[in-house]
Amino acid sequence: MKVLVTGGGTGGHIYPAIALIQAIREQDPSASFLYVGTENGLENTIVPKHDIPFKTIEISGFKRKLSFENVKTVQRFLKGTADAKKMIRDFQPDVALGTGGYVAGPVIYAAAKSGVPSIIHEQNSIPGLTNKFLSRYAKHVAVSFEEAKAYFPKGKSVFTGNPRASEVVHAEKINVKKEFGFQDHLPVVMIVGGSRGAKPIHDAFLEALPQLSDKQCQYLYITGSVHYDKVKERISEVGVPHDHVVVRPFIHNMPNVLASIDAIVSRAGATTLAEITALGIPSILIPSPYVTKNHQEMNARTLEKVGAAVVHKESEWSGAKLQADIENIFQNGKESEMKKAAHSMAVPDAAERLYELMKSTALK
């Protein structure tokens, strides 16, 4: 099977696509792929590292206000569609998959207009503009949250889950306490705000640090490169023992580390939630309010509803609430309940589900 894949801009669009490609390669070593992204997008650095053939088109998103840039965007869309059609003629795919981001627009549109059966994958509970537009042309819409079905044409949506879950559920556990120099008898909580960090999460942790330092947990603090120096300085000022709070700007083997921690404090991006449900990690979620239609909060509330997560709006978040949440999870017996609830939402065979949908679509 020859598969055209597109999606980019953020890791939330890229990593599910890569996870799916890896799963297909395991089941069908003869499958071939072409990934179409943009030169300036994150996909340009991530995708080639996974030995996936990669080509680019130029595209940008629409501005919400009237702007001459929107005229340029239309021009780029038309040229991107023409460029994508040429790539499609050369590659001759059996099926096309779009995982979101601006680049998916012209590529999946071109595929559909070229007669290539196409599927789009929506990671969030509220879809973005690109996928809503493409749902008119795609044969199927694969969703990660049942709530997303309401935004797409009736009868097109299929619940598959997020392929990233299939990847991390098989992640090999490591001895996280030994690797980072933690004590053996205390649980490990990861604090993370994404690749560039999330200032409110950092501020709350630093505020609570004097009270947290003598409590019942230890912390693996992934700051992102922007906040790393400030956090290190603040921790030194407080005088927290090195075996109690370990700070890193980033971690390369994140799935393996996630498989080994006891709880997490993070944003509520779709890929993150796929990972933590697949692994059954109790979570404290502070959704970013700076995303389209507040979709992170909607994502997070689905976990809160079943008892898998504690959710706080950024405007209501504080060090005191972080301290109270940590105590509630580990002192009041909530940890095991939250683990079970998180596991109940997991779709560990998401990649396999999406692959089956792609195969059946390609045959029609």
Q: Are residues 352 and 320 in the same domain?
A: no
Q: Are residues 104 and 133 in the same domain?
A: yes
pLDDT tens, residue by residue, 130-171: 999 999 999 999 999 999 999 999 999 999 999 999 999 988
pLDDT tens, residue by residue, 192-236: 976 555 788 888 988 888 877 666 889 999 988 777 888 888 778
Q: Are residues 125 and 204 in the same domain?
A: no
Residue-level pLDDT at 240: 67
Q: Are residues 53 and 154 in the same domain?
A: yes
pLDDT at 299 > cutoff 70: yes
Q: Are residues 223 and 311 in the same domain?
A: yes
pLDDT tens, residue by residue, 255-267: 999 999 999 999 9
Amino acid at 107: V
Q: What is the mean pLDDT of residues 66-91?
A: 84
Number of domains in the chain: 2
Cβ atoms of 55 and 87 within 8 Å: the answer is yes
Residue-level pLDDT at 214: 63
Q: Are residues 38 and 156 in the same domain?
A: yes
Q: What percentage of the chain reaches a pLDDT higher than 70?
A: 93
Q: Are residues 153 and 234 in the same domain?
A: no
Residue-level pLDDT at 130: 92
CA 201/CA 274 separation, integer angstroms: 20
Per the model's pLDDT, the better-predicted residue between 10 and 190 turns out to be: 190
pLDDT band at 301 (very low <50, low <70, confident <90, very high): very high
Q: Mark the binding-site residues, compressed into ranges.
A: 10-12, 124, 195, 251, 296
Residue-level pLDDT at 62: 55
CATH number where 55 lies: 3.40.50.2000
Q: Are residues 161 and 279 in the same domain?
A: no
Q: Mark the binding-site residues for UDP-N-acetyl-alpha-D-glucosamine, compressed into ranges.
A: 10-12, 124, 195, 251, 296
pLDDT at 101 > cutoff 80: yes
Q: Are residues 220 and 202 in the same domain?
A: yes
Q: Are residues 155 and 194 in the same domain?
A: no
Q: Which domain holds residue 329?
A: 176-344
- Closest to 102 in 3D by CA, of 125, 134, 126, 71: 134
Q: Are residues 100 and 196 in the same domain?
A: no
Q: Are residues 153 and 253 in the same domain?
A: no
pLDDT at 298 > cutoff 80: yes
CA 314/CA 102 separation, integer angstroms: 27
pLDDT at 69 > cutoff 80: no
Mean pLDDT of the chain: 91
